[in-house]
């Protein structure tokens, strides 16, 4: 098939032939979702650059691509959740066969440098590249990104930041190529830092505290804070915060006659609909029904 005509996007895809294209930044990482029908694209290519690395997670089966490198080529099949990792520092050319749906993660080199600064056990220079690989952990994290890309306005900034850190950490630890230099030692947060972190999470100012804000206040790296918070509380910061908000909502439902919209606002939910969804997942029933049961 002939190479696609028309304007190519930043990843080499012919933008006018994609039937789905989304993009969202989360800290250092950039997420994309690219979807195409059976005959939408036959060829992509990008020249070498210093952008870093690109990780693709296939969201459906049936895609095949032939990677072209000089006079050599290699053919790779992508089942659902199969992944690839490539380095932007190399020219990329590929012939695509069949429809596809990929969740893509752009990892800039500044992210790798910052992870090196935050770690005490490794210094990563590159990432192991490959195609058609299987990584159920990374695939699971990618599945969590997909609905956020569809409706980014509904995503919690704390959840999105946390998810970006989790994905970045998986990439760094599993694909990062380095020689270990010293052993990292992890512990939970000190009592004072745990109290500080919880107070900052519960604060409802104009701009809610981010993981980076809290880690800085505790004088630790973001990745260390995430691990230490989990060790101290048994849960992630986002999960802990949701639990506190639901507990506060239960108290207000039981002890006051406030309308549900007011309770949603008082407890830090974005709106009554968001409050209802989160509360129902946590308590197994809608807030109004829970209130009626509590007053029996």
Distance (Å, whole) CA 165 – CA 222: 8
Contact 211, 169 (CB under 8 A): no
Q: Is residue 203 part of a domain?
A: yes
Residue 252, domain member (yes or no): yes
- Label the pairing between strands 63-69 and 53-58: unpaired
Domain that holds residue 84: 15-178
Bridge pairing between strands 92-97 and 63-69? antiparallel
Claim to verify: residue 98 and residue 76 sit in the same structural domain: yes
Tell whether 151 and 287 lie within a shared domain: no
First CA to last CA across the chain, in angstroms?
Answer: 70
Look up the CATH number of the domain holding residue 277: 1.10.10.60
Q: Which of 135, 150, 178 is the last residue of a domain?
A: 178
Same domain (yes/no): 227, 255: no
* Greatest C-alpha distance within the chain: 77
Q: Are residues 95 and 149 in the same domain?
A: yes
Q: Could you give the 3-state DSSP secondary structure of residue 100? A: strand
Regarding whether 48 and 138 lie in a shared domain, the answer is yes
The answer to whether the CB of 238 falls within 8 A of the CB of 159 is: yes
Q: Verify that 25 and 128 share a domain, yes or no.
A: yes
Same domain, 41 and 69: yes
Q: Please provide the DSSP assignment of 17-68 as one string.
A: G-SEEEEEEETTEEEEEEEE-TTS-SEEEE---SS-EEEEEESSS-EEEEEE
Burial of 160 from C-beta contacts in 10 A (0-12 / 13-18 / 19+): buried
**Which secondary structure element, helix H or strand E, spans residue 107, and what is its range?**
strand 100-107
Is 184 part of any domain?
Answer: no
pTM above the 0.75 mark?
no
Tens-level pLDDT at each residue, the chain (296 residues): 333 345 678 887 776 678 888 888 887 888 999 988 866 567 888 888 888 899 999 998 888 899 998 888 999 999 899 999 999 888 899 988 888 899 999 988 888 877 777 765 667 878 889 898 899 999 999 888 888 888 887 778 888 888 888 888 898 888 988 755 544 445 678 888 888 999 999 887 667 888 988 988 888 888 888 888 988 999 999 999 999 999 999 999 999 999 999 999 999 888 999 999 999 999 999 999 999 988 87
The tally of domains found in the chain comes to 3
- 221 located within any domain: yes
Residues 94 and 235: their CA atoms lie apart, in Å, by 42
SS3 state at 258: coil
176 forms beta bridges with: 127
Residue 198 and residue 159 in one domain: no
- The helix, strand and coil proportions of the chain, stated in percent and rounded to the nearest 5, come to 45, 25, 30
Say yes or no: 142 and 58 in one domain: yes
- What is the tens place of the pLDDT at every residue in 203-223? 876 678 889 889 888 888 888
Nearest to 93 by CA among 65, 126, 58: 65
Q: Is position 256 within any domain?
A: yes
The Cα 96–Cα 63 span in angstroms is 8
Containing H/E element for 266? helix 260-266
Distance CA 209, CA 99 (A): 41
Whether 8 maps to a domain, the answer reads: no
Residue 185 lies in a domain: no
Tell me the CATH number at 157. 2.60.120.10
Q: Are residues 74 and 108 in the same domain?
A: yes
Does 145 lie in the same domain as 46?
yes
Same domain, 168 and 69: yes
């Amino acid at each position: 098939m002939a190479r696609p005509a028309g304007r190519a996007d930043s990843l080499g895809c012919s933008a006018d032939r994609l039937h789905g294209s989304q993009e969202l930044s989360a800290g250092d990482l950039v997420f994309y979702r690219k979807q195409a029908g059976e005959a939408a694209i036959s060829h992509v290519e990008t020249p070498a650059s210093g952008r870093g690395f690109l990780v693709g997670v296939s969201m459906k089966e049936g895609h095949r691509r032939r990677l072209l490198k000089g006079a050599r080529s290699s053919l790779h099949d992508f089942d659902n959740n199969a992944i690839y990792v490539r380095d932007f520092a190399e020219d990329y050319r590929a012939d695509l066969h069949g429809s596809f749906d990929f969740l893509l993660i752009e990892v800039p080199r500044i992210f790798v440098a910052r992870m090196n600064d935050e770690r005490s056990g490794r210094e990563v220079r590159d990432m192991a590249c490959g195609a058609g690989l299987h990584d159920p952990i990374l695939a699971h994290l990618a599945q969590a990104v997909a609905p956020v890309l569809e409706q980014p306005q509904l995503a919690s900034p704390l959840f999105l930041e946390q998810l970006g850190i989790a994905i970045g950490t998986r990439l760094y630890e599993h694909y990062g190529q380095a020689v270990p230099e010293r052993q990292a030692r992890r512990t939970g947060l000190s009592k004072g830092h745990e109290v500080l972190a919880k107070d900052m999470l519960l604060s409802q100012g104009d701009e809610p505290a981010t993981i980076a804000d809290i880690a800085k206040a505790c004088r630790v790296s973001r990745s260390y804070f995430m691990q230490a918070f989990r060790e101290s509380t048994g849960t992630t910061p986002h999960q802990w915060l949701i639990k506190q908000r639901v507990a506060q909502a239960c108290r207000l439902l039981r002890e006051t006659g406030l309308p549900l919209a007011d309770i949603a606002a008082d407890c830090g939910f974005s709106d009554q609909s968001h409050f209802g969804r989160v509360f129902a997942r946590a308590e197994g029933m809608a807030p109004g029904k829970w209130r009626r049961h509590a007053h029996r």
